[in-house]
Structures are given as structure tokens and as C-alpha cells.
Chains A and B, each alone.
Chain A
């Protein structure tokens, strides 16, 4: 039987990186899932939560839970939003899966049949890495992509400096962290930086572009949807 998957695309992907959301839906359908997108969905509430606005975060949480009532699996193209729901909601929500985790650990799929020509490097997003313990799943998926060569950056586990409102409350620190990340990326010679979080990619892309680098960024789902 096809797993019925409710996708939570996140506000950032919905508004700024729709390609990542479309790609995720495509890959999941290709992997045999039945997809639903609940129109009422918006945000997980993390911006308020991380800024110290607990009441506002709880209001958005209540709303999220209402929208996703009855959903069996909720798959998210973001480690950060998935960690927010999985670990920082009033009660842990076991229905939440980050996209790469869902493919590798739940569906047990590592080869999605993708083809992508080029050298890529993978950026570990902090919340995926440290709150959800996601390190191998995206790399396994990437290694099965035909034509793709994965080169690790050094250090891979250092924060890109985004940090939500931190990026605009302390822009100079955030920018300095991004430039260090960019240097690590450029040392790999990769043409594309891949991550499972569009927020990190927005920060990295913005700093790469400001540095005049030609390196591009892609969400993992976009790479996996390339055939």
C-alpha cells in the first residue's frame, strides 16, 4: 500500500524556494508515496520560539497541529523546522520526518534513480545534524546519484551563520561566519552546494553571490529530482 504522506513545505520554501518543495513532492511520488498538501499550512513557529516569544510560538504550534490533524506522516524539506516540531513543541510529534530521513530510514530507499552531472559538496545544517542526528542519510542519497561526485568540505559541520533572526540582529557576525563557510566551499572546487535546509542555502547563496563566486546552491530534493 502506498504510504500517505502529508507534506509540510515550510513558509520559507513556500514563499522563496518553491522549486525545493516541488522537487520533494516529485521525488516522494516517484518513490511510491501518495502526496497531500494541506492548504491551510503556514509556518512551524520557530522564528518566534527562537526569539523568546513563547506564547506566539505556542499559538502557531496549536494552529499547525490543527492543520495536520489526522496526518499519518508529515515530511518536511528542512531539518530545522522538523527539529522544531519534533523537539520543541509541547509534546514531541513522532509523525514528523525530515525529507532525507524519510527516504533512507523509513522508505529504505537510497537510490531514487536520479542523474546529476557535476561535483557537489554537502553542507550539514546544524539542527539536522545536532538535533535530528542526520549525517549519513543525505550523503547516501547523493552517492547513488549517477554522474554526481561528492566532495566533503572541511570543516563540514561548522554553522553557516544563518541562525534565523540572528542573521539580521547580528549581521556582521553572521556575515563573517558565512564568509568562512564560503571559503570552505570554494576549497572543494564543487560547482554546487547541497543541503537539506533552504535557510542555510539562502545564507550561503547570498554570501557566495556577494563574493562573486560562480558556485550554485541546490536543495537535496532538487538534485534527487534531476533525471
Chain B
């Protein structure tokens, strides 16, 4: 089933509808409380500051990437440049094979989903185990993340118990304990730990990982090798900029003022240090990002810090859920990111599946103008892949609206006894009734009123 076909399936699933709506409401309410003026008076200034920082770094990406590479290597790490997802997967697969690693632990990373790393490793005979609880659940279920920060948002406790092979009356605590015991063994046995990165700090060569479960910290420190995979846009200039981004990211994502764990990792274990990996690799992924960079009007898409706030605020996501979007990124950000990463010709309907309500732009912590970019994409698609019927309809629309005498003839439609229910009208009536049609338009009534008054 493709993404578009999944829409009606999701809409018809009552249990799923309740699950999505209540989980997103919980996250959205958490965010709202965490950024309220009483608790974070500088919220709007912080958003603007974060936007300006991202703009600066994205506009000067070449400079900061070189600075980052230099500083990562000065700390004893190695930077791998991957132009495509396949190149990133090649590197990790080869590394696993060279080291004879049969088991890899992974912490949550949307980029690794984007490049389909798990499938690649499985194919190469390497077991990759997701260690974030939500990711672990969906991995066992054979699914993909439903939500950028809450990958198993759509699963009920009973469904999780079934996936774990436990009794259906197991409590959430019991299920968590089961996962914890199973995963602990994996951490200790793994030859490589793979993580994403929330931020890459150019001036210190550090990567920053934000998480609540401690699994990313274990993934990056227990195995002898740590590989971090990140998109090139994750860069920030200085460590002090974290004061802005950490405040916004976690509050926007879950409503916490800070996540349980915030790890700043710079390079592998150095002499005299008791723990940490022997080797550290940072895979920097392009995979279409420089194409987005080249398009100034849509470049803001690269500012995204993957907090998921736009998903929780989106009345469309809250109806159609995470599997109704092509690509791994769902919600409003997926609607603008996926067409730019994968090309607009694959799913030209995507940017049109929005009521343009603007709720996404309102909650975005880095002020990405998602509705404006949706409109840009619509313009590009209407031009590059015109639908003959629609193009003709809007030519007629424009002409009629510039000829008021012709426009007025709409009254004949209004006065029809029964309007044939076809096309848009049929679509309208599939869900809603029509309003009673007035006999006379405003202009007819206005003329009459003025006649009487004179």
C-alpha cells in the first residue's frame, strides 16, 4: 500500500484515530505549556535567534563544514563525506565487515531511516538492533517510524505486548523492563554503536545527542567503535549556541525543559580516559541537501531541528498519521522536505494535501515558513506537471473574474433546481451538505436596496 492509499485506511481506523489524536494532543499541550510566556518569556526572541543562527550557518555551510571536519579530526575522530545514502551505507557496511562486527546497536536516528541503513546491514548479514524503546518496538513489528520523535506513537500497550511476546495485560513498566533486559545484552556484545546527532558543533568538533532513555549514551560509549550519521545541515557554529537550541528543541518536542540526557561527545577515548569508544567516525550526509541549499526560496527547509512540533500541531497529520506520507519524514516538514529530497515528480499530490492553516509555521522553533514553502512547491508542480483540466479551469477562472458581467451569470447556476453532482461538487457532497442557495446575490440585493432608497 502506498502513502496515498494509506490515507483512507487510517481515516477509517477508529482506534488508530484516537491513538494519533490523543498522543499528538499530549505532546502539543506539553509544548504549549513549556513555551508559555510565564515560563519562557524570551521564547519569541529565542525562535528568531535560532532562525538567524540557522540562516547564517546554512548560508555559509562550506565554511562551517570544513571547520567541523578539522576539529573532529583534531580530536582523533574521522569525517566521512557521503554524497548519497548508498555511500553512507557502504562505509558502515564495510566498517562492520572489516571489524568482523556481527552485531550493531543503534540509537534513534531519522537519517539512518532516510538511508535505509537497517535493511542494508541486514542484507550484509549484520544484525542491527534499535535501542530506543519506540524504535525497538517498531523494529520488532517490522515497521518504520510513525512520528519523528515518537516512532511508536500509533501502538497501544496491548499491541506492544504482542510484539514483545508478552501477556496482553503486561503493564508499561513491565514491558519497558523486558526491553531493557534484552537490550542490555546487545549493548555489551555489539561491535559498533551507531547514533544520529542533533547538533554538530563546528568550533569544537563535538556532536550533541539529546535523548531521554540513555540508550544513545550507551550506544556511543559501550561498543569499541562509535559511528555518528548526520545530515550536513545539523551544524551550529559554536557550543554556546546550544543555549538557544537546546531550550527550543526539547520544549518543542516533548515539553520538557531539558531532556534526561544531553551528551556532548568529542572524539574517541583519549589516553587516560576510563571510557568511550576506541574509534569515532562522523558520517556527513548530503543525499539531496545541497540541492535544497541551491534553492534560495526553499533553503529554510534545512533549518529543521527535527523536534516534531509541526506534526503535533498539524490537523492533517492528526488525521492521516505517519504512514500517509511518502518518505520517512511525515507531517508538515515531511511535506516540504520529501519532495525536495526525492524529487517532485514522485508524489506531486503531497504539497497539496494541506489546508494551509499555518499551525505548523506557528509552532516551528526555528521559524521555517512551511506554508509559504508549500505554496512555492505547488507553483513549481503546477508549472512542471500541469493537469490539463485544472490548468484550463484556472485560465477560465481568471478570465471570468476579470469580466464581472460574465461572472454575474453564475446566478443561473444558483437558480438551478438541481445542480448535477459531478467533479468538485461530488467531492464536496461526499462529506458535507451544501448550504441553501440564496435566490439573489449580494450585488442584486444591493442594487435593489439602493433603488428603494432613491
On chain A, the residues within 8 Å of B355 by CB distance are: 126, 159, 161-164, 166-167, 174, 177
A78 at the interface (CB under 8 A from B): no
Contact with A along B422-454 (1 / 0, CB 8 A): 011101101111110110111111100100000
Contact with B along A57-68 (1 / 0, CB 8 A): 101100100000
Q: For the complex formed, measure the closest distance between the CB of A41 and the CB atoms of chain B, giving whole angstroms.
A: 7
Of the candidates B319, B434, B437, the one having the most CB atoms from chain A within 10 angstroms of its own CB is B319
Considering the chains assembled together, what is the distance between the CA atoms of A162 and B427 in angstroms?
12
CB pair A42 B356 closer than 8 Å:
no
CB pair B394 A172 closer than 8 Å:
no
CB pair A206 B432 closer than 8 Å:
yes
CB pair A172 B390 closer than 8 Å:
no
Considering the chains assembled together, what is the distance between the CA atoms of A140 and B382 in angstroms?
42
CB pair B352 A166 closer than 8 Å:
yes
CB pair B401 A37 closer than 8 Å:
no
CB pair A15 B410 closer than 8 Å:
yes
A43-51, A97-105, A107-115: which lies at the interface: A43-51
A196 at the interface (CB under 8 A from B): no
On chain A, the residues within 8 Å of B395 by CB distance are: 56
Considering the chains assembled together, what is the distance between the CA atoms of A129 and B435 in angstroms?
24
Considering the chains assembled together, what is the distance between the CA atoms of A17 and B436 in angstroms?
9
Considering the chains assembled together, what is the distance between the CA atoms of A47 and B381 in angstroms?
16
Of the candidates B359, B391, B442, B443, the one having the most CB atoms from chain A within 10 angstroms of its own CB is B442
CB pair B356 A126 closer than 8 Å:
yes
A152 at the interface (CB under 8 A from B): no
On chain B, the residues within 8 Å of A175 by CB distance are: 430-432
CB pair A51 B11 closer than 8 Å:
no
On chain A, the residues within 8 Å of B437 by CB distance are: 16
On chain B, the residues within 8 Å of A168 by CB distance are: 423-425, 427-428
In the complex, how many residues of chain A place their beta carbon closer than 8 angstroms to a beta carbon of chain B? 67
B242 at the interface (CB under 8 A from A): no
On chain B, the residues within 8 Å of A127 by CB distance are: 356, 358
Considering the chains assembled together, what is the distance between the CA atoms of A119 and B390 in angstroms?
42
CB pair A166 B353 closer than 8 Å:
yes
Q: For the complex formed, measure the closest distance between the CB of B16 and the CB atoms of chain A, giving whole angstroms.
A: 12
A94 at the interface (CB under 8 A from B): no
Q: List 23 A-B contacts (CB under 8 A).
A: A11-B401, A14-B442, A16-B414, A18-B438, A18-B441, A21-B442, A43-B407, A47-B397, A50-B378, A53-B398, A57-B398, A126-B355, A157-B359, A159-B315, A159-B355, A161-B355, A169-B427, A170-B7, A172-B11, A172-B431, A175-B432, A202-B435, A206-B434
Considering the chains assembled together, what is the distance between the CA atoms of A27 and B17 in angstroms?
43
Considering the chains assembled together, what is the distance between the CA atoms of A161 and B445 in angstroms?
31
Considering the chains assembled together, what is the distance between the CA atoms of A125 and B382 in angstroms?
27
CB pair A171 B404 closer than 8 Å:
no
CB pair A42 B404 closer than 8 Å:
yes
B8 at the interface (CB under 8 A from A): yes
Considering the chains assembled together, what is the distance between the CA atoms of A49 and B444 in angstroms?
28
Considering the chains assembled together, what is the distance between the CA atoms of A223 and B414 in angstroms?
25
Additional 13 contacts, C-beta under 8 A, given A11-B407, A48-B398: A15-B441, A43-B407, A48-B397, A55-B398, A60-B397, A158-B315, A166-B353, A167-B427, A171-B430, A174-B355, A175-B432, A205-B433, A206-B435
On chain A, the residues within 8 Å of B315 by CB distance are: 158-159, 161, 177, 180
CB pair B432 A22 closer than 8 Å:
no
On chain B, the residues within 8 Å of A51 by CB distance are: 352, 378, 382, 390, 394
